[in-house]
Amino acid sequence: MAKGTNDAQLLVQSLRKAYAATPTSLKIIDLYVVYAVATALIQVAYMAMVGSFPFNSFLSGVLSCVGTAVLAVCLRIQVNKDNKEFKDLPPERAFADFVLCNLVLHLVIMNFLG
């Protein structure tokens, strides 16, 4: 039994060490994703408490968080130097895509917000 917890602790520690090696830019993106998802969770919890009226507002709020999180994940994939697939894509280009997509997403979200 003690070995199990020990193993878990060892696992977590090794993950932490590996994560510390990731570049800062990627860490920023990860933090952004965590932030977006946390906001979404808070909104869902609120809806669970007070009911889904008005439903469109709830949807737009949650989807904006989820959408931006998804775009951030895409950005991370594209910017990651270890990713062989996107070797030739300049990170600035990826970032420009990220900004553009976010702007379009937020336009739609604002329209749907009501």
Whole-angstrom distance, CA of residue 81 vs CA of residue 59: 35
- Counting contacts by CB under 8 A, is residue 110 touching other proteins? yes
Quote the CA–CA distance of 85 and 81 in Å, as a whole number: 10
10 Å Cβ neighbour count for 22?
A: 14
| 38 sits near other proteins (criterion: CB under 8 A) | yes
Task: Examine residue 89 and tell whether it contacts other proteins (CB under 8 A).
Answer: no
Alpha helices of 21-90 — where are they, by DSSP H? 24-50, 55-79
Cα–Cα dist 24/67, whole Å:
23
Is 43 a binder of other proteins (CB under 8 A)?
Answer: yes
Residue 97 binding other proteins, by CB under 8 A: no
The residue count for binding other proteins (CB under 8 A) is: 29
Is residue 36 within 8 A of residue 65, CB to CB? The reply is: yes
Select the residue interacting with other proteins from 1, 2, 48, 49 (CB under 8 A): 49
Q: Which residues bind other proteins (CB under 8 A)?
A: 24, 27-28, 31-32, 34-35, 38-39, 42-43, 46, 49-51, 53, 90-93, 95-96, 99, 103, 106-107, 110-111, 113
